[in-house]
Amino acid sequence: MLLKYLRFSVHHYGICRANYSSATRPSAFDGGKQFPLEGIRILDLTRIVAGPYCTMVLGDLGAEVYKIERPFEGDESRKWGPPFMRNSKDSVYFMAANRNKKSVCVNLKTGREVIYELAKKCDVLVENYVPGKLDGLGLGYNALKTIAPSLVYCSITGFGSEGPYKTKPGYDVIAASMGGLLHITGNENGPPAKVGIAITDIATGLYAHGAILAALLQRYRTGRGQKIDVNLFSTQVACLINVASNYLNAGKEAKRWGTAHESIVPYEAFKTSTGYITLGCGSDAQFVSLCRLLGMDELLQDERFANNQTRVKHRNELIAILSDILQRKSSSEWMEIFANASFPVGPINSMKEVFEDRHVQAIGMVKTLPHPMAGEVKLVGPPVVYGEAKNEITSIPPQLGQHTDEVLRNLLGYGDAEMERLRDAKIIQ
């Protein structure tokens, strides 16, 4: 549908885009389904997590992603181990955010002209350097827009291109700290806690991917590219949602609640005889259902628990009662009892339990693909399913410099002499 609209726009508005290619994937059609971003080319100058996650999502949707890496070094996350892939120098961490890409090794300090030529052929450039770094190399937006005026240029930074923190390096945990996430994460009477994954990086990558799609749509109306600024700090503040609203509109300072909910009771994790389960009652009817399944109808006659407002007021008393009951059986026993419950409930799973879960296996979230060094690699596939489009893994994360020759020869038309010159000058690997 997106591609159909984009093609319509080109025809209707007379916009001519030399960059478009209809042959970037070996099998564009599968039962009538097509990749939504078929023919879109991404010049990916990102490393670590937020940027690579963004470009990976675009790659899942069919964009051709050229991952520009430092010769002989590559993306820093290749070295973030152990663990590493078997018979490989690449970390398993790198595998998580770099599928559906082609690795092209170019030295940004000496290979500016190569990047210029690639930018002319691409639709989008994504980078995550500290503001000013690429400007100093002649690769900032002001330089690129004169060379490729239709280029969508997305900068992913720690704190944005304006403000007193703009030159500070940005990392997930720092943005989460300064943006309030650590202040509200952890046990009620304990120290701040970091979320188990780089969730601010992931949210930033998703914001960036959506912004890029919006800019591409606008370009098909105007014919012009533009610069997009996305940063970890602003993303984290935006993700505070109701906690931010509570403070801004009611002057209510936030606190840590562990797994509990400030405004809904019960809504938290409970210990069982074998582990933990999490359940919540978002309505009075759901609380009635919980009490009956627990065989505790007498709680329904207790005025302290008559509705959510009184349950919040008497939180400690109710949680103590429920905790005592739920510790008497195993997690699996409770999940059988709650199998048809009207309220949300689920076990707190280990990684082993997550990937052995019958639902995860039934929907095929894990994909196993051949790997030239390790034999095979397992990847968690895209979580979004399109009714009339493809969104899938077509290639494993690349080896360092695997596609340098292919891309520079086929896309830019470089011959043997030019490739030899660039290698002798250590501009490419």
Q: What is the pLDDT of residue 31?
A: 64
Q: Are 183 and 244 in contact, with CB atoms under 8 Å apart?
A: no
Q: What is the pLDDT of residue 341?
A: 97
Q: For the packed helices 50-60 and 199-222, what is the interaxial angle rounded to 10 degrees?
A: 50
Rounded CA separation 123/41 (Å): 5
Of 319, 7, 94, nearest in space to 188 by CA: 319
Region class of 332: left (phi > 0), else alpha (psi between -120 and 50), else beta: alpha
For residue 104, give every residue at least 6 positions away whose Cβ sits within 8 Å of its Cβ, in sequence order, or none: 66, 67, 68, 69, 118, 401, 403, 404, 407, 408, 428
Q: What is the pLDDT of residue 29?
A: 44
Q: Are 208 and 128 in contact, with CB atoms under 8 Å apart?
A: no
Q: What is the pLDDT of residue 26?
A: 42
The letter for the amino acid at 273 is: S
Query: Each residue of 131-159: b (16+ CB within 10 Å) or e?
Result: beebeeeebbbebbbeebebbbbbbbbbb
Burial of 352 (0-12, 13-18, 19+ CB in 10 A): exposed
Q: What is the pLDDT of residue 306?
A: 96
Q: What is the pLDDT of residue 28?
A: 42
CB atoms within 10 A of CB 407: 20
Whole-prediction pTM value?
A: 0.91
Q: What is the pLDDT of residue 13?
A: 33
The letter for the amino acid at 129 is: Y
Q: What is the pLDDT of residue 286?
A: 98
Q: CA-based angle 137:141:147, to the nearest 5?
A: 90
The letter for the amino acid at 235 is: T
Q: Are 268 and 260 in contact, with CB atoms under 8 Å apart?
A: yes
Torsion of CA 92, 407, 223, 10, to 10 degrees: -100
Burial of 20 (0-12, 13-18, 19+ CB in 10 A): middle
DSSP string over 109-143: TT-HHHHHHHHHH-SEEEE-PPTTHHHHTT-SHHH
Contacts by 358-362, CB closer than 8 A, 24 or more apart:
none
First-to-last alpha carbon distance for the chain, in angstroms, is 39
Residue 144, both tokens: 């690129």
Q: What is the pLDDT of residue 16?
A: 33
Q: Are 192 and 257 in contact, with CB atoms under 8 Å apart?
A: no
Q: What is the pLDDT of residue 11?
A: 35
Q: CA-based angle 79:139:2, to the nearest 5?
A: 85
Q: What is the pLDDT of residue 104?
A: 98
Q: What is the pLDDT of residue 32?
A: 79
206-220 tens-digit pLDDT: 999 999 999 999 999
Query: Strand ranges (DSSP E) for 77-118?
Result: 102-105
Q: Are 311 and 318 in contact, with CB atoms under 8 Å apart?
A: yes
Cross-strand bridge partners of residue 371: 375
Intervals of the chain under pLDDT 70: 1-31
Q: What is the pLDDT of residue 251?
A: 97
Rounded CA separation 57/61 (Å): 7
Q: What is the pLDDT of residue 394?
A: 96
Of 124, 128, 119, nearest in space to 146 by CA: 119
- Which of the residues are catalytic? 201
How many Å separate Cα 40 from the centre of its chain? Answer: 20
